[in-house]
Amino acid sequence: MASNRLVCRECHRVNEPDRETCDSCNSSSLTEDWAGYVIIAHPDKSEIAREMQVDEPGSYALKVR
């Protein structure tokens, strides 16, 4: 179910469609080539969040190419 949503290469945030910059870090390095959608609700309690160095709740991609 790949969508046209763009993922930030810097922070792995999944942005809403048609964004030109990342909602989270304002990077313009966005890509459609990503896999593994995860929702992180409690970054401080999440192993995945720690591994991905995520400190803000939201939707993220596990793999970004």
Number of amino acids touching Zn ion (CB under 5 A): 8
**Residue 6 makes contact with Zn ion by CB under 5 A:** no
Site string for Zn ion, 23-52 (x = CB under 5 A): -xx-x-------------------------
**Residue 11 makes contact with Zn ion by CB under 5 A:** yes
In angstroms, the Cα distances linking 31 to 11, 25, 41, 47, 51 are 12, 14, 23, 24, 21
- What tokens does 61 get? 């991609």
Residues in touch with Zn ion (CB under 5 A): 8, 10-11, 13, 22, 24-25, 27
